[in-house]
Structure 1
Amino acid sequence: MVKSAVAESKTLRADGPRGRWALLAPWLALIPFAGWSVLRLTGWEPKLRWSQLVSFTPYVAGASLLPLAVAVALRRWRAALAAAVVSGALGAAVLPRALPDGSARIAEGHRLRVLSANLLHGSVPAGAILDAVRRHRPDVLVMLELTEPMRDRLVAAGLKRLLPFEVSEAAPDAMGSGVFARQPLEADGPPFGWPRQIPARLALPDGGRLSVVAVHACAPSQGWRAGCWASSIRALPAAEGGTLRVLAGDFNSTLDHAVLRELIATGYRDAADATGKGLAPTWPYLGQPWFIPKVAIDHVLADRRIAVDAFTTLSLPGTDHRATLTDLIVPREEP
């Protein structure tokens, strides 16, 4: 009789308003995270705002521990198991970016340093670019949102004494791009896309060639512009054939975008991801308070035959992007 009364008392408590809420709360908390994980893992990117929202998956992965904590605190073990599965799925998509792949340890070849910067409509002081070039001594400088006045200021300040070779197409606002280098550089085809994406071919010391593309994808600033954004990523050359290639710049995409993962899968390696810096954000910084979430939309993609030795981000005045500095090891051409 005593056991029966206790069981009946528990049932009554579960059937009451507070009991029903305790049953539902973990599941209600889990629903948005479960939906997010399904969209992220399937790669389905519906229009509206998802092309922007998916960039924040690392933050959502961390927050997905909250439904798990709620379920455990309320002793709702089925909900806890479901929450653990969702957190695990999101974690599996995000956490490997914090682990280096060690590719540089087994590579030999030409060391190449690439500095890439979005200039925000040419707003970065020329002196800041020159200081960065002198301090970090890149072999290749990729600049996005390169305006004609900005290019003229850089040349007047002495950029071509440091990096004498140039392939560029300066243009108003956010439309121009350019590549400057220490070694001989030539155009590797016409600029393409809008904003302009610039293909160049760099001469290596052993007589080999390396293709370098200045990347500036269309921004998915409105949900219905996702077509422009995705097509500008798909216009980039795949990593196939005998040509060694590096893509550097503002992809307006994170590793949580299926279209960028598809490009990488053709045979590229993301430099930040390869060095365990894949969660290092690059945008937005200018005038933004600390609590505004930042995302990693600036990348260097290198052919998998090229080793990635180091990657870091740099702060430049006058722009909302962090610059990226990447050390690569390019294999020597076989005689």
Structure 2
Amino acid sequence: MTITSSAPVAKPVRVRRAVWHVLLCLLVLPGTAWVLVRLGGWERGALVQLFAFTPYVAAWSVLPVLAALATRRWLAATVAAVTLALFAAAVLPRAFADADRGPQGGVALHVMTSNMLFGNADAGSIVELVRRHDVAVLAVQEFSPNAQRSLAAAGLGELLPYSSLGPEYGASGSALYSRFPITDPGVRRNSSGFNQAYGTVQPPGAQAVTVESAHPLAPYSLEVLGDWRDDLAAEPRTDPDGPPRILLGDFNSTLDHGPLRDLVKGGYRDAADAAGQGLIGTWGPYDGDPIPPVTIDHVLADRRLGVGAVSVHDIPQSDHRAIVATLRVPAA
């Protein structure tokens, strides 16, 4: 009589199951923690920089769902599916135009923002975009005296003859150009040392609007995160008793950063988000750096304004892309 035992076979099976269970947890739980921190706006420390890449983590979160379902790990599959659903709710709406994009009557105002990378971006390309898209208001960041001269030489003054300028060498300069006269022009310096040019313009037949070229500090190190938050907190909110406001520029933040979402809640709508273009990258690999593109440039429009088409454009010799947005300003 032959006697057999299943123990030598069962032990390797149990080990493989335990290993797979650990691997599934390593696949599922980081994404779950990420999305909970994202929804709560609790990103701190090194997470601040990482959270700019949340859309990529959201796309990756499909894999744990498929892995858990394929191995019939139902609890892990449930947690992974809920995580995926939360990511989709937080990120996916940016890819679809909002049903409510504000009032669509009134006067069309084409605005544009462009970061010139220490003033070295190709001025001719910027002016050509202004001409081609009938831009009436242009906001520029990292605006240097050299940039001022190169834009003038490229013919910007013929298209946008009015301006509020704060040129400086380095990254701190700022400018606002307009087709229409600018009243109450000025340049303020935020707490991080960056200039922000501003002014009020009134398109013919429309209400006056206040426009500001925004440039909060980048969260480039742990030591400056407090300054980054302070700059975003200090950006002007809308004033229901004053003219509608437009903030546009390099915010050094994505909609996955709590401080920027708090700013938007201060009476704005993100034009690219409203138009279904909110996942198009505006900074990263455009000057050759091997960085996945992220969306840190924005046009924030007062909710009393409507949002039309939004497009994103490469600018040679800049690490940022330009945003052109059509806004609707109520009639005077």
- Matched with 2:256 is 256
Structure 2 counterpart of 1:323: 322
Q: Which deviates further from its counterpart, 13-22 or 300-309?
A: 13-22
2:272 corresponds to: 272
User: What is the aligned partner in structure 1 of residue 72 from structure 2?
Assistant: 75
How is 1:216-227 mapped onto 2 (pairs within 5 angstroms)?
216-227=215-226
1:270-324 CA distance string (max 9 Å, x none): 00000011101101133437x7411000000001111101101011111010100
Partner of 1:144: 141
1:247 match: 247
Q: Which residue of 1 aligns with 2:44?
A: 46
SS of 1:197's partner is strand
Give the match's secondary structure for 2:232.
helix
Q: Please give the alpha-carbon distance, in whole angstroms, between the structure 1 residues aligned to 2:206 and 2:89.
A: 42
Change (3 A) 1:23 1:103: closer
Deviates more, 1:131-140 or 1:161-170: 131-140
Q: Give, in angstroms, the shift of residue 26 of structure 1.
A: 1.3
CA distance in 2, matches of 1:106, 1:271: 13
How many residue pairs match? The answer is: 325
Residue 241 of structure 1 and its aligned partner are, at CA, apart by: 1.9
Query: Separation in 1 of the partners of 2:320 and 2:201?
Result: 26
1:23 maps onto 2:7 in alignment: no
| Structure 1 Cα separation of the partners of residues 303 and 102 of structure 2 | 14
| 1:237 to 2:223 alignment | no
Shift in CA distance, 57/66, structure 1 to aligned 2, threshold 3 Å = same
Q: Deviations over 1:137-181 (max 9, x none)?
A: 200011111001210222233221111100110011110010001
**After the TM superposition, which of the residue ranges 306-315 and 153-162 deviates more from structure 2?**
153-162
Structure 1: runs of 5 or more not aligned = 1-7
> Equivalent pairs: percent with the same residue?
39
SS in 2 for 1:278: coil
The CA distance in 1 between the partners of 2:99 and 2:203, in whole Å, is: 24
Residues 205, 331 of structure 2: 8 Å contact kept: yes
What is the identity, as a one-letter code, of the residue corresponding to 1:53? L
Aligned mates of 1:39, 1:187 — CA distance in 2:
41
Measured at CA, do residues 106 and 171 of structure 1 come closer, stay the same or move farther in structure 2, by a change above 3 Å? Answer: closer
Q: Which moved more, 1:191-200 or 1:265-274?
A: 191-200
Q: Is the 8 A contact 1:14 1:20 kept in 2?
A: no
| Aligned alpha-carbon RMSD (Å) | 2.1
Report the Cα distance in structure 2 between the residues aligned to 1:24 and 1:305, rounded to whole angstroms: 51
Deviation at 1:188, TM superposition (A): 4.6
Q: Deviations over 1:47-97 (max 9, x none)?
A: 2x1111001110001101111111111111111001111111111100111
The within-5 A match list for 1:97-176 is: 97-103=94-100, 107-176=104-173
Distance 1:16 1:262 in 2: 49
